[in-house]
Structure 1
Amino acid sequence: MPADAEAPALSADPALFLRLASIGKKAAADLQALKTSPVLKTRPVLKTKPGLKTKPGLKTGKARRWRKRSHVLRLLDTAEGNLRQAGWLCAAIDDTPLLLPLLPALPDPPMIEDLGALQILARGTLISESCSLPDSASPQPHAITLHAITLEGRQYHAVQIDGPRTNSLGLATQLTETCMLYWDGAHPLVQLAQQLGLVPNKPLWANQIPLALPQPENLHELDALSACCAMLRHALAQVDGNISCLLAAQDSEGVHQMRVALRRLRSVLALHRGLLPADAVQTVRAELAWLNAPLGRRRDLDVFVEETLAPLRRALPDLQGLHDLAIHLDEKRAAAQQALLSAFRSPRFTRLRLALEALCHQPPATEPPPALQHAALLLQRRRRKLKKLGRRLGECSEAELHELRILAKKLRYAVEFYRPLFKGRSKSARRHAQGLARLQDALGALNDAAVGAQLLRNLLGMPAEDPVAAAIAGWFAARQHGQLAGLPAAWEAYAELKPFWKAALPPE
């Protein structure tokens, strides 16, 4: 797109959006500073071939031309809210309709024939400034647009990058080095609609996101790296879908699903070790560990308060120490939430999110094997480790039971990721995942007790002889007894399941 072309509107296409950290007059100044950023000034430009004219606005050394546009912005729906109920947010930029999905991979959007028949949910303005950024690495230049959005008095300032995704990710990463930019995980208008309460701000589960495998009708030709990239995108979609809910702190399930998403990302990286560049993987794994620290603290507090302290207070309403502990833990949760805000509202998280997506565009470190064979070998190895320890179930120490739970969790993640590859064995794969889930549930009380005891010691400094600590210890002991009683049956049920991947194993 040449510099003097129409400024791209807020597109529903997979443009890359970053949110400006500042607001008000500071945001306006920062947007102007972005226009003269060294990152944009020093971008290499396209060289024309001999005998061809240089495109307007692309000559070396010529100043960037920023085109400014002002638009009337409205959010619309039927009187019954049919569009939002179907999972779509309808916006009108001037008189051009724009339908934005509220969930991943919805069916094709409905046709909007008459905007005048819809009701106005919110009014505002959109001011955009756009220019092209030629790139010597691609014949297709980027378009960068700076948006200043006002909707019912709420402001949102965003940078939109259109162009080849690989280069867009690199440009966005460079911009975060000089500007305070956020990754919000959703389209700016969806973010504003959530803030205004026009669309729900709900957690997103992994099973709500379809796994988009390439070549779905010819899975035997699918290579392991292509499958890995599809799984990375799937896990990243779950990360993006839970950012808003997590930061709003309205539903603790958003924190839980974000933690699950990070675990699934680590699982994908572990399952495909050796297929991706080792240095890049090592960097993102270290950054995932950094992000998981405040997330884990908040989640552990949520679990303790909601699943241990709340029922214990109902059972022992006269134990005053439990009420005092609840007040203290609310303060701890508020501090943990603030730490989460600081982490997710930082250029460091934005760079991590960009780096994780960039892995999907990396050339293979080695020649990737067939995806089915790779999956079968990994599933087989993980199952053998689990069964080796599970055969000694009656002799296992508490530490070994913890290890058994971790092995079951790792195998379950692998099963859930690889299930779509085994289309003819879908029922068997589903039973396998369900059996592992029951096994994890039977071992879950052990982990809750260990985390709860550590929380009491480290965060609260509560001695074991304290009446409240004694009551909590007794509660955990009772839960452990009840859950562990079902462990042998859960193990036997799982051990009887046949590997659904056996036919894909290479001949020995």
Structure 2
Amino acid sequence: MNADPTARLRGKTRPAAAFAALGEAGLQRIEDSLAALFGRDEAEDVHALRVAVRHLRAVLWIFGPLLPRGIAERWKEDLHGLADAAGEVRDWDVFLAETMQPALDRQPGDAVLHAVIDTARARRQIARETMLARLGQYRHDTLPTLHRDLAHLPVHTDDGSDTLGPFARSRVRKARKTLRQRKRRARQDGLRAVHRQRIAGKRLRYAIEALGPVLPEQKAKRLHRKLVKGQGKLGSVVDDSVARRLMAECLDVPPEEQDSAPAAA
């Protein structure tokens, strides 16, 4: 397979064939990330896995209307499980790198900071062991099943009635509409709505990356730049909230008192 499946996409490509190419490449990217995770302990490998899963979830959302319902639901559940398995370790990695390390750089002799960092690293190690146990099952059971799905999908879903160009543009328009709706809700509904807005933005961003060859080039590039910029701002809001929670956990602050706990360092 071409290392870049998007290079094979054309406006007249059948959507099911596009999903097969993008899906196979996405599964390979996940497998490569898993191989790295099981071979070493690096924060960037955890991040790479989650990004790979996000990309494939966006591809699944794009082409979901074409898929048999049972297969679409299984893929949705399995990819959610993959992302969730690495979520706790990723939270600890971001907390250590972006909250605790800058604080330690400013106050290198602070005994409390050192104690919090030691606690965070210990809890991160426990989370990593749990993650690897879960990912081992996905690696050996789930991913082969998804590969088998792809081998049969074009036969079951491609009736020759549509081409990728108009289909791709309609899905991107739908993703933009969803993002606008979630932006409006986020102004009123607080952090959870901000998180949902962030998810919608990522889905649109990765959809543009997957479908780039069949989208209007300049318009797609402008929108992609705006999304990347906006994701950084939203990410900071969500990461700050996670940092407060993890700091409270390291300090053994009871859940009912966490809302009034001091901000993360």
TM-score by structure 2 length?
A: 0.85
Q: Which has the larger radius of gyration?
A: 1
Name 1:139's counterpart in structure 2: none
| Secondary structure of residue in 1 paired with 2:66 | coil
Deviations 1:174-198 (A, max 9, x none): xxxxxxxxxxxxxxxxxxxxxxxxx
Which structure 2 residues correspond to residues 279-290 of structure 1 after superposition, within 5 A?
Answer: 279-290=70-81
**Structure 1 position 296, deviation (Å):** 0.7
Name 2:4's counterpart in structure 1: 210
Alignment equivalent of 1:264, drawn from 55, 66, 70 = 55
Name 2:107's counterpart in structure 1: 316
Alignment equivalent of 1:230, drawn from 12, 17, 21 = 21
Name 1:344's counterpart in structure 2: 135
**Structure 1 position 227, deviation (Å):** 1.1
In structure 2, stretches of 5+ residues that fail to align are none
Name 2:203's counterpart in structure 1: 410
2:121 partner letter: D
2:4 partner letter: P
Deviations 1:329-379 (A, max 9, x none): 111122122223222333x43221112222222233463621111111111
| Secondary structure of residue in 2 paired with 1:220 | coil
Alignment equivalent of 1:462, drawn from 248, 253, 258 = 253
Name 1:379's counterpart in structure 2: 172
2:5 partner letter: L
Counterpart Cα distance in 2 of 1:395 and 1:284: 32
Change (3 A) 1:411 1:244: same
Counterpart Cα distance in 2 of 1:434 and 1:337: 33
Counterpart Cα distance in 2 of 1:406 and 1:359: 26
1:350 partner letter: H
Change (3 A) 1:320 1:387: same
Do structure 1's residue 428 and structure 2's residue 219 form an aligned pair?
A: yes
In structure 1, stretches of 5+ residues that fail to align are 1-103, 106-208, 476-508
Equivalent residue pairs, number? 259
**Structure 1 position 427, deviation (Å):** 3.8
Deviations 1:155-192 (A, max 9, x none): xxxxxxxxxxxxxxxxxxxxxxxxxxxxxxxxxxxxxx
Higher normalized helix content (fraction of residues):
2
Counterpart Cα distance in 2 of 1:392 and 1:269: 25
Counterpart Cα distance in 1 of 2:115 and 2:247: 14
Higher normalized strand content (fraction of residues):
1
Counterpart Cα distance in 1 of 2:69 and 2:185: 36
Counterpart Cα distance in 2 of 1:230 and 1:404: 28
Change (3 A) 1:400 1:292: closer
Counterpart Cα distance in 1 of 2:184 and 2:78: 37
Change (3 A) 1:437 1:316: same
Name 2:126's counterpart in structure 1: 335
| Secondary structure of residue in 2 paired with 1:329 | helix
Change (3 A) 1:290 1:457: farther
1:382 partner letter: A
Counterpart Cα distance in 2 of 1:246 and 1:460: 29
Counterpart Cα distance in 2 of 1:443 and 1:273: 27
Alignment equivalent of 2:96, drawn from 305, 308, 311 = 305
Change (3 A) 1:312 1:324: same
The higher relative CO (CA closer than 8 Å, separation ≥ 6) is in 2
**Structure 1 position 448, deviation (Å):** 0.3
Change (3 A) 1:249 1:275: same
Do structure 1's residue 401 and structure 2's residue 194 form an aligned pair?
A: yes
Counterpart Cα distance in 2 of 1:461 and 1:247: 31
Superposition RMSD in Å: 2.8
Counterpart Cα distance in 1 of 2:71 and 2:59: 14
2:106 partner letter: A
Change (3 A) 1:230 1:417: same
